[in-house]
Amino acid sequence: MRASQYYLPTLRQAPAEAEIASHRLLLRGGFIRSLAAGVFSFLPLGLRVLRKVEEVIRTEMNRAGAMEVLMPVLHPRELWERTGRWTAFQPCPLRVKDRNEREFCLGPTHEEVVTDLVARDVTSYKQVPLTLYQIQTKFRDEIRPRGGLIRVKEFTMKDAYSFDVDEAGLDRSYLAMYDAYVRIFDRLGLPVQIVEAEAGSMGGHDTREFMVLNESGEDTIFICDTCGYSANAECAVARPPASTSRERTEKPRLVSTPNAKTIDAVCAVLGLPADQLIKTLIYRAGEEFAAVLVRGDRELNDFKLAGFLRAPDLRMATPEEIEQVTGGPVGFSGPIGLPESVRIIADCEIASVTDAVVGANQADAHLVGADPGVDFQVETYTDLREAVHGDPCARCAGTLQAKRAIEVAHVFKLGTKYSAALDAVVDDEHGEQRPLIMGCYGIGVSRIVAAIAEIYHDDNGLVWPAAVAPFQVALLLLDPDREDLRQIAEQITADLEAAGCETILDDRDERAGVKFKDADLIGHPLRIVVGRKTAETGEVELQRRRDGVQAMAKPEEVVAKAGELLA
Ligand SMILES: [Zn+2]
């Protein structure tokens, strides 16, 4: 390939909106261009990288026994109504109407479509196990796309779905995908941390996320420095302190806290630290109300609360509802004196708080000296708070470290949620009908391109691992007008190509400095220079991008030398 004929629009400066390294470098290197916020074109170089990532994924999926299909982007509303996700899916899918007012969404994920597909043709246990996958464009109506290819509205994803007749079969299918993912990231040169996670909008269990540790990531994960326990922020568990036994002391005493509706304000008025306060949050699920207690210095984790209460319509109570239920305005709720119909659920840490400050359920007042189990009863203590950096590990004596990460893949067991709703049932060996048991396995293909760029770059540009580099070799011809040099460069290019080494010959009419800068910026694993020195010594210079290792070689030795340096 000749650079003089290649669409290679590199930029000296990245646009100001590109905040993270991968976004800046992919724009500058001429890999991608932005059409609108969170919507990107892949230019020839970028597409080469994307296709290589896809090919690694495809090879490993096929090797694991999965079969590739291609399903539609347009999903009819009726299908999503049947699983209840037309309204429940978060973030809300992008929706469109055709000229007959028929509604569709642009698929953010394909559980409905694949289950409907399988339901039509698979009727016997003999037709499973079956794992189908596709590599396709997905749409998410992100409120605030950011980070280049990391959080976008339109992206390429590999999604796979397994169908089995029993749990043991699901376990095997799940493990096959899990192992395939480990191999995929190994081949891509992407170090991943596999963490425990919550399934969120998908539903399911045994959820694992594959995370790339990186400061530009949008996720926080927690890793124990001793036992290796790792989980994402939605489900990371810290060890609570031992609970404290208490005896009845004086009754809690009412204190005036005018206008102190926040933890900070109460601390300021009373001169107490936040861990001496108990935050009382009122939630509503159906007709039921729950008072949820966490220590004043902690944040409630909504995922954990939702997982514990298992109420699909769980939400925070409105100020009017709070007034109705507690008798006091919002900001002054507390667990003492609530109606019996209100459940009191507390984070485990509350069990060791003594002499606490709680809301008095009346305006501008709190109670001090409240003891859980003495002054009010808690229905259940359970882990409800957000973990924080430095928390004690729940599994050992180690400490949890908070780290930023990019989620690049997930695997989880779906069970029968979709097969039951969409009648994907088969006859088992006894002739009885059973819903198929499903697993779901996703990889963010375009996001992986960004993750690799985040991990593999330096001050001069990208440093692609050979497995995904757009070209293996950039051959810089420094004097394209000299016929002798041009001939050498073209012969080397032909030799490399014949040996299966993708090479771009930079024969552009540009200064040497521009060619060197572009080669570094684009990040070809190996650079070969044919210039005046070649005419003098009969040798060309090879330099490896990742560590700067150099070598000289005669033109006829270049293929062997390049092979050594790229190995
Ligand atoms: Zn641990």
Residue with tokens 């479509």: 113
Domain 471-566 class? alpha beta
Residue 541: CB atoms within 10 A of its CB come to: 17
The mean pLDDT of 382-403, rounded to a whole number, is: 95
Question: How close is the Cα of 191 to the center of ligand 1, in Å?
Answer: 21
Helix (H) or strand (E) holding 283: strand 278-285
C-alpha distances out from residue 557 to 52, 492, 563, 564, Å: 28, 9, 10, 11
Residue that wins the pLDDT comparison between 357 and 312: 357
Given CATH 3.90.960.10, say whether it is the number of domain 253-382. yes
Token reading at 422: 């969409």
Question: How close is the Cα of 205 to the center of ligand 1, in Å?
Answer: 22
Question: How close is the Cα of 408 to the center of ligand 1, in Å?
Answer: 24
pLDDT of residue 146: 81
Report the share of the chain in percent with pLDDT over 90. Answer: 86
Distance CA 99, CA 564 (A): 60
pLDDT of residue 25: 97
Break the chain into its structural domains and give their ranges. 3-236+402-453, 253-382, 471-566
Residue that wins the pLDDT comparison between 110 and 532: 110
Q: What is the 3-state secondary structure (H, E, C) of 35-86?
A: EECCEEEECHHHHHHHHHHHHHHHHHHHHCCCEECCCCCEEEHHHHHHCCHH
Q: Does 154 have pLDDT greater than 80?
A: yes
CA 133 to chain CA centroid, Å, is 19
pLDDT of residue 142: 82
∠ Cα 377 382 383 (to 5°): 140
The mean pLDDT of 536-548, rounded to a whole number, is: 95
Question: How close is the Cα of 387 to the center of ligand 1, in Å?
Answer: 13
The mean pLDDT of 321-340, rounded to a whole number, is: 94
Q: Does 202 have pLDDT greater than 80?
A: no
Say if strands 315-316 and 278-285 run parallel, antiparallel, or are unpaired.
antiparallel
pLDDT of residue 147: 85
Question: How close is the Cα of 434 to the center of ligand 1, in Å?
Answer: 40
Q: What is the 3-state secondary structure (H, E, C) of 498-526?
A: HCCCCEEEECCCCCHHHHHHHHHHHCCCE
Say if strands 503-506 and 473-477 run parallel, antiparallel, or are unpaired.
parallel
Residue 289: CB atoms within 10 A of its CB come to: 20
The mean pLDDT of 314-326, rounded to a whole number, is: 94
The mean pLDDT of 64-72, rounded to a whole number, is: 98
pLDDT of residue 212: 97
Question: How close is the Cα of 230 to the center of ligand 1, in Å?
Answer: 9
pLDDT band at 1 (very low <50, low <70, confident <90, very high): confident
Nearest to 63 by CA among 183, 185, 172: 183
Report the share of the chain in percent with pLDDT over 70. Answer: 98
What's the mean per-residue pLDDT of the chain? 94
Instruction: Give 267-311 pLDDT, tens digit per residue.
Output: 999 999 999 999 999 999 988 999 999 999 999 999 899 888 888
Question: How close is the Cα of 226 to the center of ligand 1, in Å?
Answer: 5
The mean pLDDT of 507-529, rounded to a whole number, is: 96
Question: How close is the Cα of 388 to the center of ligand 1, in Å?
Answer: 14
Backbone φ, ψ for residue 174 (5° rounding): -60, -45
The mean pLDDT of 203-214, rounded to a whole number, is: 87
pLDDT of residue 436: 97
Question: How close is the Cα of 399 to the center of ligand 1, in Å?
Answer: 7
Question: How close is the Cα of 397 to the center of ligand 1, in Å?
Answer: 6
C-alpha distances out from residue 532 to 151, 488, 495, 529, 562, Å: 46, 12, 21, 10, 21
Question: How close is the Cα of 405 to the center of ligand 1, in Å?
Answer: 19
Is there a contact between 519 and 526 (Cβ–Cβ < 8 Å)?
A: no
Question: How close is the Cα of 195 to the center of ligand 1, in Å?
Answer: 13
Question: How close is the Cα of 402 to the center of ligand 1, in Å?
Answer: 13
Question: How close is the Cα of 394 to the center of ligand 1, in Å?
Answer: 6
Question: How close is the Cα of 298 to the center of ligand 1, in Å?
Answer: 21
Burial status of residue 377 (CB atoms within 10 A of its CB: 0-12, 13-18, 19 or more):
exposed
Question: How close is the Cα of 207 to the center of ligand 1, in Å?
Answer: 19
Distance CA 401, CA 458 (A): 26
In this structure, CATH architecture of domain 3-236+402-453: 2-Layer Sandwich (3.30)
Token reading at 282: 């009122």
Q: Does 200 have pLDDT greater than 70?
A: no
Q: In sequence order, which ranges of 389-482 are alpha helices (DSSP H)?
A: 417-421, 445-455
Question: How close is the Cα of 310 to the center of ligand 1, in Å?
Answer: 28
Q: Does 203 have pLDDT greater than 60?
A: no
Q: Please provide the size of the chain in residues.
A: 567
pLDDT band at 361 (very low <50, low <70, confident <90, very high): very high
The mean pLDDT of 237-256, rounded to a whole number, is: 84
| Sheet containing 343-347: order of strands | 315-316, 278-285, 288-295, 343-347, 380-382
Question: How close is the Cα of 13 to the center of ligand 1, in Å?
Answer: 45
Backbone φ, ψ for residue 483 (5° rounding): -65, -40
pLDDT band at 204 (very low <50, low <70, confident <90, very high): low
Is there a contact between 111 and 161 (Cβ–Cβ < 8 Å)?
A: yes
pLDDT band at 106 (very low <50, low <70, confident <90, very high): very high
Token reading at 495: 């030799």
Question: How close is the Cα of 441 to the center of ligand 1, in Å?
Answer: 27
Question: How close is the Cα of 317 to the center of ligand 1, in Å?
Answer: 36
Residue that wins the pLDDT comparison between 404 and 218: 404
Distance CA 523, CA 518 (A): 8
Instruction: Give 16-27 pLDDT, tens digit per residue.
Output: 888 899 999 999
DSSP string, 85-124: HHHH-SSPPPEEE-TT--EEEE-S--HHHHHHHHHHH--B
Question: How close is the Cα of 455 to the center of ligand 1, in Å?
Answer: 27
Question: How close is the Cα of 193 to the center of ligand 1, in Å?
Answer: 15
Question: How close is the Cα of 237 to the center of ligand 1, in Å?
Answer: 10
Helix (H) or strand (E) holding 221: strand 219-224
Is there a contact between 499 and 440 (Cβ–Cβ < 8 Å)?
A: no
Question: How close is the Cα of 227 to the center of ligand 1, in Å?
Answer: 4
Residue that wins the pLDDT comparison between 210 and 199: 210
pLDDT of residue 96: 95
pLDDT band at 248 (very low <50, low <70, confident <90, very high): low
Question: How close is the Cα of 213 to the center of ligand 1, in Å?
Answer: 19
Q: Which of 30-34, 174-178, 350-354, 487-491 has the lowest mean pLDDT?
A: 350-354
- Prediction pTM value: 0.90
Nearest to 470 by CA among 137, 29, 155: 29
Is there a contact between 120 and 113 (Cβ–Cβ < 8 Å)?
A: no
Report helix, strand or coil for 167: helix
Distance CA 146, CA 132 (A): 31
Q: Does 389 have pLDDT greater than 80?
A: yes
Question: How close is the Cα of 223 to the center of ligand 1, in Å?
Answer: 8
Token reading at 530: 């044919």
Question: How close is the Cα of 61 to the center of ligand 1, in Å?
Answer: 33
Is there a contact between 465 and 45 (Cβ–Cβ < 8 Å)?
A: no
Question: How close is the Cα of 398 to the center of ligand 1, in Å?
Answer: 5
Residue with tokens 């039951």: 420
Q: Does 201 have pLDDT greater than 70?
A: no
pLDDT of residue 113: 98
Question: How close is the Cα of 229 to the center of ligand 1, in Å?
Answer: 5
pLDDT of residue 17: 84
Question: How close is the Cα of 392 to the center of ligand 1, in Å?
Answer: 8
Q: Could you give the dihedral angle defined by the CA atoms of residues 559, 561, 562 and 566, in that order, rounded to the nearest 10 degrees?
A: 140
Question: How close is the Cα of 391 to the center of ligand 1, in Å?
Answer: 10
Give yes or no for a cis peptide into 240 (omega within 30° of 0).
no
Question: How close is the Cα of 300 to the center of ligand 1, in Å?
Answer: 22
pLDDT of residue 244: 74
Question: How close is the Cα of 91 to the center of ligand 1, in Å?
Answer: 33
